[in-house]
Amino acid sequence: MQADTAATPDIYADDAPGKSGNGKARLLSIEDLDGRTRASRHCQQIRDEILNDLGGADQLSTLERRAAEH
């Protein structure tokens, strides 16, 4: 016998704001983080290190800079 799924709320709806289809928040880039948090500062530090490893932000193409931010 199948359960009545119409009465069950869909808590993992694809149209929920800030959610992907699996119910987890999805961050697309550093810009999506709250800049005041430790996690944001850590991500910014890693991004800066990557940019420096590649020769500096002024030496990279737009695509390379955007890739480092993501």
Residue 16, pLDDT score: 47
Mean pLDDT of all residues in the chain?
A: 76
Residue 8, pLDDT score: 54
Quote the CA–CA distance of 63 and 61 in Å, as a whole number. 5
24-53: pLDDT as tens digits = 777 677 778 888 889 889 989 999 999 999
Quote the CA–CA distance of 14 and 34 in Å, as a whole number. 23
pTM above 0.75, yes or no: no
Of 66 and 9, which is predicted with more confidence? Answer: 66
- Write the DSSP symbol of residue 16: S
Quote the CA–CA distance of 70 and 65 in Å, as a whole number. 9
